[in-house]
Chain A
Amino acid sequence: MSDLLYSETEDELRSAVRSLLTDRCDAAQVIARAESDQPHDHDLWKTLAADMGLAGLLVPESLGGQGASARETAVVLEELGRFVAPVPYLSSAVIATEALLGCGSPAADELLKGLASGRSIGVLALPLSTAPSTSYVQVDEADGRLTGRIAAVADAAAADVLLVVAGSGLYAVDTTAEGVSVSARTPLDLTRPLSVVTLESAPGRLLAADAGAAVRRGLTAGAALLASEQLGLADWCLTETVAYLKTRHQFNRPVGSFQSVKHRLAELWLETVHARAAARNAADALATGSEDAPLAAALAQAYCAPVAVHAAEEALQMHGGIGMTWEHPVHLYLKRAKSDAIALGAAGVHQEAVAELVDLQAP
């Protein structure tokens, strides 16, 4: 059975990340940045990725990474979720990094060095909703030139390099190259910007002739570890709402003393207890290379995605009118949670994946 606890090292890592984010990523800053023309926080990214070395957690030391594992990465994501931090960590340090690790080519290794050091940002150019268990869009390739349109790619606006899937393999495309256009959309979740990527005979470098395994690896890691981000979101919503309802008075009583409210918060707490177990299980399965990793990832997504949404919706409702204001941060969590529920496959897609993996066939 997997190790479902947090190690001392993981606890220390959490404290370091939380303390940085407390200083540099408070809600007012995140809200102000969300509508600016710089939706990604590049300074914060530099500190996290380069100075603290967190972009290279999944990368072996031989390629300039930390040689850590999905367990530590998951802890970082819990904290990034808790602060709805606008940094491309899941995209670059998890999904693109794992896809490149799955290529095993010199060209991929070269890119990994850049990603691991935090010097460059990479993004797997697929719609954010792409699940590990389903089919995905491919662009056309001719003579190493790529042509196609990919909708709703997360963090592409911050990327230096795109990993592009074509029928003939996985290609690296520099975002500054000719024929590449990254055009921002207006996202539901302003803290994870989305773009349409258009390629017109853009020059690509082949990373792997068989894109399938690399893409699957990136998306499976993404789905498994997104659960930790969702846990962080849910945990913030619960903690913040409990604290607020201890001080908010109506009818000459703290609102948190009403049984109808307490029961809902207790249920939510229980959901976060289960979400933590599911998320840790998925992180550990990845870290140990367990053959159960696809099941653990699907299980964690199927369970944690709705929990994060439920937590954010309950947080908004229980904050009453203040929860509906732009000024209060709860909407950031609602928007992130709802987007996360679609990201890397909606809960229903993961339910179907579970059913397939454990032989509970549909009629």
Chain B
Amino acid sequence: MSDAAELISRTKELLAAHPPATTAREDFLKARFDAGLAWVHYPEGLGGLGAPRALQAVVDAELEAAGAPDNDPKRIGIGLGMAAPTVLAFGTDEQKQRFLGPLWRGEEVWCQLFSEPGAGSDLAALGTRAVRDGDDWIVTGQKVWTSNAHNARWAILIARTDPDLPKHRGITYFVCDMTDPGVEVRPLRQITGEAEFNEVFLTDVRIPDAHRLGEVGEGWKVAQTTLMNERVAIGGMRLPREGGMIGPVAATWRERPELRTRDLHQRLVRLWIEAEVARITGERLRQQLVAGHPGPEGSGMKLTFARLNQEISGLEVELLGDEGLLYDDWTMRRPDTVDFVGRDAGYRYLRSKGNSIEGGTSEVLLNIVAERVLGLPSEPRTDKDIAWKDLAR
């Protein structure tokens, strides 16, 4: 079942039975999921065939060549990248059957209810409470930085179920129904002018215990799976040369000699070199994954991309001179997908400021690298053995 020829033949069978030209998109996606060709490394019956993850590329190439519709992965990135691996790792059979199909097909959009106004880098300090009520949990609290909350059918949620335990031990992981009347979503406008994120207020939201992922009190462990996948997703994109933020700056440099100065040239060439080396590093990481030897390098890539995106876009604004003084549009909108290179330099400059904050600040990631990769001791901590309710806040 694991070889490329077998997967190609199954893909051809799928295409023959459901020709993309004459099959409705939803029907094709359903047939693809049922054939185990959605994510081949998932188990049979859940959209996969238990094949090596690297072979997905073979299927995707075959489908793309045949003009088959895809599941619009940009629109459902949080579901695919974070919710799905967590449901797969910790869900019951019923939960996997219920959630994974509609998630992959994009019928149900997911969002993530983790960060809170008082729990950012120190996520484990979160204060949203979940109190048991018969077969249900009653959840009350406030979440923030929630992309796609306004489109989402489901959310992955972590909440405090035991405030008497130290903070990491009193957390439980749930799947929250975003249509519950206690869920209120408000757009959160960012420095770019648009509202890519939301604040989510939870007031007596009722979650059945059957929608709990993992054991009561094990939510922190479950959340690690989600966060690991998030960082891999952010750092692991494959790009052609000049495929990232360096692309538009290099193009402007070549097209507009009148903008060139010596200082900008030195900085541009240095950044070009760093961006190209980062791209090659990403490729090396991908080759390690394909070879079945994932290294710890992935945890560092997000750090590099955050810094480079910020420095490159900053340089680009300067390079543009008078035009760098302008901004394309401050109108408040709610984009469904985020395209870091889709707008003008000013937008890129402002949006990339978030790259070193979202998905783990660069400072926290450096601690993670130091402790988990290099094995350096942690700082002395005062919060580990104290009940959550007694922590300073």
- Report B-chain residues with C-beta under 8 Å of the C-beta of A1: 283
Contact A4 B287 (CB under 8 A): yes
Asked whether any CB of chain B lies closer than 8 Å to the CB of A362, the reply is: yes
Contact A257 B284 (CB under 8 A): no
In the bound complex, residues from chain A placing their C-beta under 8 Å from that of B276 are 299
A259 to B280, CA, bound (A): 29
Q: Determine if A83 is an interface residue (Cβ-Cβ < 8 Å).
A: no
Q: In the bound complex, do residue B272 and residue A358 qualify as a contact, i.e. CB atoms below 8 Å apart?
A: yes
User: Is A362 in contact with B273, judged by CB distance below 8 angstroms?
Assistant: no
A86 to B376, CA, bound (A): 32
* B374 and A265 contacting across the interface, CB-CB below 8 Å: yes
Contact of A5 among B287, B300, B377 (CB under 8 A): B287
A242 touches B375 (CB 8 A): yes
Residue A42, interface by CB 8 Å:
no
Question: When chains A and B are docked, how far (Å) is the Cα of A359 from the Cα of B297?
Answer: 31
Name the contact of B304 in the complex, choosing from A259, A274, A276, A299 (C-beta under 8 A).
A274
Q: How far is the CB of B299 from chain A (nearest CB, A)?
A: 9
The answer, among A246, A259, A277, A363, for a CB contact under 8 Å with B375, is A246
Are A262's CB and B277's CB within 8 A? no
Interface residues on B, range: 35 or more
The stretch from B10-18, B261-269, B329-337, B340-348 touching chain A is B261-269
Q: Are A302 and B273 in contact (CB under 8 A)?
A: yes
Determine whether the beta carbon of A299 is less than 8 Å from that of B376: no
Given contacts A354-B273, A363-B261, contact A273 B281 (CB under 8 A): yes
The interface residues of chain B lying within 8 Å CB-to-CB of A363 are 257, 260-262, 265
Chain A 275-304 interface residues, beta-carbon cutoff 8 Å to B: 276-278, 280-281, 299, 302-303
CA distance A360 to B255 in the complex (A): 10
Nearest-neighbour CB distance to chain B for A7, whole angstroms, equals 10
A253 within 8 A of B: yes
Contact of B273 among A253, A256, A299 (CB under 8 A): A299
Chain B residue nearest to A363 in the complex (CB):
B260
Indicate whether A254 reaches chain B with its CB closer than 8 angstroms.
Answer: yes
> Smallest Cβ distance from A318 to chain B, in angstroms?
11
A3 at the interface (CB under 8 A from B): yes
Q: In whole angstroms, what is the CA distance A117 to B121 when docked?
A: 59
B58 interfacial contact with A, CB 8 Å: no
Residues of B within 8 A of A362 (CB): 260, 262, 265
Does chain B have a CB within 8 A of A355?
A: yes
Contacts of A265 in B (CB 8 A): 370, 374, 376
**From residue A113, how far is it (CB to closest CB) to chain B in Å?**
36
Q: Is the CB of B265 within 8 A of A257?
A: no
Q: Is A326 interfacial (CB-CB < 8 Å)?
A: no
Q: Are A303 and B274 in contact (CB under 8 A)?
A: yes
Interface residue stretch chosen among B122-130, B143-151, B204-212, B361-369:
B361-369
A266 touches B369 (CB 8 A): yes
- Determine the chain A residues whose CB is within 8 A of the CB of B257 once the complex forms: 361, 363
The interface residues of chain B lying within 8 Å CB-to-CB of A4 are 280, 283-284, 287
- Residues of chain B within 8 A of A281, CB atoms compared: 280
Question: If A5-B291, A360-B254 touch, does A354 touch B269 (CB 8 Å cutoff)?
Answer: yes
- With most chain A CB atoms within 10 A of its CB, the pick from B250, B280, B371 is B280
Given contacts A257-B377, A351-B270, contact A274 B265 (CB under 8 A): no
A216 to B303 CA separation, bound complex (whole angstroms): 37
Residue B42 lies at the interface, judged by CB distance under 8 Å to chain A:
no
Chain B positions 154-199 with a Cβ under 8 Å from a chain A Cβ: none
Interface residues in B7-50 by Cβ distance below 8 A to A read: none
Do B377 and A278 touch (CB < 8 A)?
Answer: no
Return chain A residues, CB-CB under 8 Å to B374.
242, 262, 265-266, 269
Q: In the complex, what distance in Å separates the CA atom of A355 from the CA atom of B250?
A: 11
Known contacts A274-B278, A278-B277, A278-B280: A259-B265 contact under CB 8 Å: no
- Residues of the A chain whose Cβ atoms lie less than 8 Å from the Cβ of B277: 274, 277-278, 299, 303
The CA-CA distance from A270 to B298 in the complex, in Å, is 10
- Shortest C-beta distance, A281 to chain B (Å), equals 5
Which residues of chain B are near A274, meaning CB under 8 Å?
274, 277-278, 281, 304
Q: Is the C-beta of A267 less than 8 angstroms from some C-beta in chain B?
A: yes
The answer to whether A269 touches B373 (Cβ under 8 A) is yes
A263 interface hit (Cβ, 8 Å): yes
Residues of A within 8 A of B (CB): 1, 3-5, 242, 245-246, 253-254, 256-259, 261-263, 265-267, 269-270, 273-274, 276-278, 280-281, 299, 302-303, 351-352, 354-355, 358-363
What are 13 A-B pairs at a CB distance below 8 A? A4-B283, A242-B376, A257-B377, A265-B370, A266-B373, A299-B276, A351-B273, A359-B254, A360-B250, A361-B260, A362-B260, A362-B265, A363-B261
In the complex, besides A242-B375, A257-B379, 15 extra interface pairs with C-beta distance below 8 angstroms are A4-B284, A256-B370, A258-B379, A261-B376, A263-B367, A266-B367, A266-B374, A269-B373, A269-B374, A277-B283, A281-B280, A303-B273, A303-B274, A361-B260, A363-B261
Pick the 10 closest A-B CB pairs, nearest first. Answer: A262-B370, A363-B260, A4-B284, A277-B281, A266-B369, A257-B377, A266-B366, A256-B376, A270-B300, A277-B284
